[in-house]
Amino acid sequence: MFLINTKNTKLFFSKTTILMLVALLFFSFKFSDWEFDKKYRTIIHKSISEIFNSNTYIIEELEEFEDAFYSVKESENIIGYFVVTKAPSKFHQFDYYIIFNAKTDILKIEILQYRENYGAEICSKRWLKKFISITTNNYSQYNREIDGISGATISVNSLKKDVFKLSNVLKKKIK
Amino acid sequence: MKKISLTIAVIFTMLTTTNAQNSAEKIIAGNQGLHIGGYGQIDFNLPTRDGTMYKNGTLDVHRLITFIGYNFNEKASFVSEIEYEHVTEVYIEQAFLDYKIKDNLSINAGLMLIPISIQNLYHEPPTYNGVERTNVDKYIVPTTWREMGIGLSGRSIENSLSYQFMIVNGFNGYDNGGKFSGKSGLRSGRQKGAKSYITFPDFAGRISYYGKPGLNLGFSAYVGESESMAYDGLDLANESAVSSADSTIIGIQMLGVDARYQKGALQLRGQYILANLSNTDQYNALSGKDLGSKMTGYYAELGYNLLANFNTTNELIGFARYENYNTHAEVEAGMSINEAYNRTEITIGLGFKVAEGAMFKADYQIISNASSEDLKGQFNFGTAIWF
């Protein structure tokens, strides 16, 4: 186990390569490598502390998920969740994360790195705000609530589908 | 150890999951790998009767493109598009190496799209309304406009800006005769990367701004001179030969502004292109052509998804577009403007999207020009595919 202490927070790193391989055998590529990227760690932790208004939270990896889901806990109570993941753009992938509250409502989505030449419009924070508290029960309705972006069709659809899937994966496991 | 397990894991992932959405991506390992995609436009055009004269309709696999991309590593990738037009003509639309110098900044070299106009850059058929691309794009831009060069592309995410700048070879303006014309403008001068030659390099650039959600604005410019075979093997001491060769080139300054807006069911689109061509009087005198000294083109389009309030991901987009393109907006003294080159089209139609990247299209066009009161019509039907 490798621990990093940052002020009063603790990070639990993903366990062994074998565990990751087993997880990967199922569905998508579990993006636990984000924990090794200082820039990503900084961005994500800053968002978490701002959203939950806390410097004393702890994150805990949720091993049972195929994707890199974590719970955010304050004094043993779960106050939220987040997931760090990749989704495909035209022929690269972009890295992003979603923060949820304890009821699994989406609180924030941010793109960590966008690699494609086209479609960077999905990084726009104002556009990403459309996902906040969006209903993810029915795909048609959810799809209609998010405006498309001309010139970024592939990335928009990819993010929409991925967010819908991850939101429902979380809702299903938590309930 | 991690890299090996990652590779094995991703191969398993590839075999066991349908995670790749609508595209035919074949990801071999993480960010690396071969990607194959494509797009197609298949048309049926039926002109209406011209007075008492009947006209045959035409059916055409207008274009079929295979996209082949390869990611060598996190930083280097190759992008290519191979195009079949009208079944028998093979061209390359893009073929360039992209190298990420740093996050959000790349250098590109090879055959690239000139970054002007919406449809020149975003030319997959399901991304625009109407069976055919606009004639503003065909004659003024002239799409698909791609040439060889080297450039930078990048973005500033905080400022919601993307940009592209490149140095490229220009149009083939003169090769045993003039290539440009009053009717088609610069279109026949496109070199398309097929043994292109260069006399002088040209410059093209674009800035896109997407700060306001739903709105995408583009500003493009192209500056340079056309190329000419008359310079090849030219004896620079021979003043008359040099002067003659100088007459075979024209100066080109093109500006483009385009805007796209999307909100809910509503789509709005507009574009304005201005091309100033210099030295056209000498060019026309030498080549016997009737090239204008100024060309303009613009269109405004409104679209609405009629299925927006229904519980479906299908879309039925009704649209209307007005476009005007004039290859003789101005001419040099000594030549008269040909009013027939001042063309206007009104297009109204429908697009039925049945899946991401798959559409049926139908529209009717009313075609006219300033030289005559007559109106011509044309029905168009087609399929638009992108995967």
Query: What is the tens place of the pLDDT at every residue in B321-351?
Result: 999 999 999 999 889 999 999 999 999 999 9
A66 neighbourhood in chain B, CB within 8 Å: none
Q: What pTM does this model have?
A: 0.84
Given phi > 0 = left and psi -120 to 50 = alpha, else beta, which region is B184?
alpha
Pairing mode, strands B227-228 and B172-174: parallel
Amino acid at B96: F
pLDDT at A81: 96
Cis check for the bond before B144: say yes or no (omega within 30 of 0): yes
In this complex, do A151 and B121 lie within 8 Å of one another by their Cβ atoms?
Answer: yes
Task: Determine the distance in angstroms separating the CA of A112 from the nearest CA of chain B, rounded to an integer.
Answer: 11
Within chain B, residue ranges assigned H as helices are 2-16, 118-121, 135, 239-246, 280-287
Evaluate whether B291 touches B277 at the Cβ level (below 8 Å).
yes
Instruction: Name the closest residue on chain A to residue B124, using Cα atoms.
Output: A151
Three-state DSSP state, A148: coil
CA atoms within 13 A on the CB side of B9: 23
User: What pLDDT score was predicted for residue B273?
Assistant: 98
Question: Cα–Cα distance between A15 and B77 in angstroms, integer?
Answer: 33
State residue B21's pLDDT score.
Answer: 29
User: Which B positions 301-330 lie with beta carbon below 8 A of chain A?
Assistant: 308, 311-313
- From the centroid of its chain, how far is CA B175? 24
pLDDT number for residue A175: 75
Are B25 and A91 inside 8 Å of each other by CB?
A: yes
B residues 81-120 closer than 8 Å to A (CB): 98, 100, 103-104, 106, 108, 118
B46, two tokens: 């039926």
The closest alpha carbon to B211, from B156, B280, B253, belongs to B156
Residue B222, by phi and psi: left (phi above 0), alpha (psi -120 to 50) or beta? beta
Flag if A27 and B19 touch (Cβ within 8 Å): yes
Which residues, listed in sequence order, are joined to residue B32 by a DSSP beta bridge? Answer: B29
Select from B121, B133, B247, B253 the least CA-distant residue to B186. B253
């208004």: which residue's tokens? A53
Segments in chain B below pLDDT 70? 1-32
Say if B37 is an interface residue toward chain A (CB within 8 Å). Answer: yes
Cβ–Cβ below 8 Å for B2 and A17: yes
| Distance from C-alpha of A158 to C-alpha of A112, rounded to nearest angstrom | 15
| Sequential pLDDT tens for chain A (175 residues) | 333 344 444 444 444 444 445 544 444 457 878 887 899 999 999 999 999 999 999 999 999 998 999 999 999 899 999 999 999 998 889 999 999 999 999 999 999 999 888 899 999 999 999 999 999 999 989 998 999 898 899 999 999 999 999 999 999 988 7
Hey, are the CB atoms on B13 and A21 less than 8 Å from each other?
Answer: no
Residues 271-290, chain B, touching A (beta carbon < 8 A): none
What H or E segment, with its residue span, contains residue B155? Answer: strand B146-156
Residue A74: closest CA among A27, A9, A155, A123: A9
Is B264 in Cβ contact with A147 (below 8 Å)? Answer: yes
Tell me which residue in B5, B13, B23 faces A28 most closely, judged by beta carbons.
B13
pLDDT value of position B8:
54
Contact B243, B152 (CB under 8 A): no
- Reduce the secondary structure of B78-94 to three states and give it as a string: EEEEEEEECCCEEEEEE
Q: Under the phi-then-psi rule, with left for phi > 0, alpha for psi from -120 to 50, and beta for the rest, what region is B110? A: left
CB contact under 8 A, B69 and A90: yes
Is there a contact between A27 and B122 if contact means CB atoms under 8 Å apart?
no
Mutate to test the interface with A, among B10, B17, B21, B216 (most CBs of A within 10 A): B21
The amino acid occupying position A19 is L
Alpha-carbon gap, residue B106 to B324, rounded angstroms? 36
pLDDT, residue A8, reads 45
Q: How far is A159 from chain B (nearest CA, A)?
A: 10
The 10 Å Cβ neighbour count of residue B239 is 9
* CB crowding B285-294: b at 16 or more within 10 Å, else e: ebbebbbbbb
| A contact test, residue of B23, B70, B106 with most A CBs within 10 A | B23
**Chain A residues with CB-CB distance to B under 8 A?**
17-18, 20-21, 24-29, 88, 90-93, 111, 113-115, 117, 120-121, 123-124, 126-127, 130, 138-141, 143-144, 147-151, 153-154, 157-158, 161
For residue B189, give how far its alpha carbon lies from the nearest alpha carbon of chain A (Å). Answer: 28
- pLDDT computed for residue B50 by the predictor: 73
Q: Is the peptide bond before B125 cis (omega within 30 degrees of 0)?
A: no
